[in-house]
Each structure stands twice: as C-alpha cells, then as structure tokens.
Amino acid sequence: MKVSFEELDGKVVFRISEFDSRYESVLKMCYYENDGRGYVKVYPQNAKYMDKIKKRYSENAKLMFDQLGYFAPVPWEQALTEFCRKAQGTDIDWWLTGSCAACIRGIKMNPHDVDIMVDSRCIDEITEVFSDCLIEPIIDTNGWLTKDFGVIFLHARIDIASDPQEILDIPEPVDCGPYARQNLETVKWNGYEIKVPPLELQLNVNRRRERLDRVKLIEEFMNK
C-alpha cells in the first residue's frame, strides 16, 4: 500500500494506491473516492495541524485500514481508555456510540473502531487536546449527517463526529442521532463514567442494517 499527498488549489489530496484488492471495500466504507489512480480524500490545506496529520497518516494509515478490515487485531479498549484519559479534565462534551457502546455494557461484539460524538462547540478544544493523534482533520462536512467529522488514531481508529442531523432518526431513532443525544445513559467502565445511547436504539440500528448476529446479542442481554 502506497500513501501519498498532493497539494492543489488550497486543497490536500490524501491518496491510497498500489494496495491489495481486499482493501477496496474498506476504502469505500470510509468514503474514499476512486479517481482512476487510487482512492482519495480531499481536505483544506489550511486545516489546523495539517503537517502533523499527514505524518501520522503516513505512519498509521495501513494499520488503520488493516484494523478496519479485521486483517489485524483492534485494540479498541486501549483506544477508548486513552481517549477517556486525555479527555478527562477538559471541557469536551462527548458520548460513545456504535458497537463499543454496547461492549462497555458487557455485550461481546467485535468493534473495528471507536465512535465518538461531540458537541460542535468543542471541536477547537478536541483538535488541540488530540493534535498529536489526528489522522484526518476534524472539519465541517457542509451538510452531511453530522456537522463535523474527523479521525483520531490512538491505538485504533476513533471517529469524531458532531451534532447529528435529524435525518438520522428517520424512520426511527438510531444510536447516533439527535434523540440518542437527548436521552443518554451513563455506564461505568474501567474507572470512567461514559455517556452512551439507550440500548433500544442500538437494537433499532442493527435491525435496520440487518446485522442479525448483533440483534441477537443485544436482545439476549436485554432479556437477562
């Protein structure tokens, strides 16, 4: 796998090329676009800490994609613990969603990353606190499903998204939407108190995605 960067018209292109075919589905899952010469993502050249981000991306992109494809172990517990440690004592308003939110309740799943939701007012602070860990800049999505999105790599991939949009909860509330944000619960895990969505919402989203194995695990846990 080759990692390269190109600068053009105030933009930086992150390019992945010369990769094994098994990575193609992983790159598509991460919303990389195929431009005929590889898969790319484009970011503003003036994004804060861009030079540090490019260095970390060069050093960790392959491992990140290996973990996302389950080609390598995913130390999500280590990643989440370190995120909690660094966020503790700051004003970062965050909550955990996705499969890790189920895992810290005691439901055995196999996350390939950590999904963190934050208040958009905290983006500047999280960028500063995690400046050495950013692998993709946290930037405004200009109308996507969340206001901002970026990626930290801290032992494993940590997705950072802010202010989920109402469309996420159509036709029914999911575990990362506005309803979840307004109805968070607190789970104690490894000495930290972590806000998570109600388990019913995680059941909803896994039914919607037809992840029947996860539906079964959640239902069994809820029926104990």
pLDDT at residue 114 in the model:
99
Map residue 162 onto helix, strand or coil: strand
Share of the chain above pLDDT 90, in %: 94
pLDDT at residue 202 in the model:
95
Confidence class for position 144, pLDDT limits 50, 70, 90:
confident
Map residue 185 onto helix, strand or coil: strand
pLDDT at residue 191 in the model:
97
Please compute the mean of the pLDDT values over residues 64-71 and round it to a whole number. 98
37-46, pLDDT tens digit by residue? 999 999 999 9
Confidence class for position 49, pLDDT limits 50, 70, 90:
very high
Map residue 82 onto helix, strand or coil: helix
Domains, the chain, with CATH or none: 73-222 (3.30.460.40)
* Cα–Cα distance for residue pair 117/115, rounded to 1 Å: 7
86-123, pLDDT tens digit by residue? 999 999 999 999 999 999 999 999 999 999 999 999 99
For β-strands 114-118 and 156-162, DSSP reports them as: parallel
pLDDT over 90 (residue 143)? no
Please compute the mean of the pLDDT values over residues 61-77 and round it to a whole number. 98
Map residue 44 onto helix, strand or coil: strand
pLDDT over 90 (residue 208)? no
Confidence class for position 224, pLDDT limits 50, 70, 90:
confident
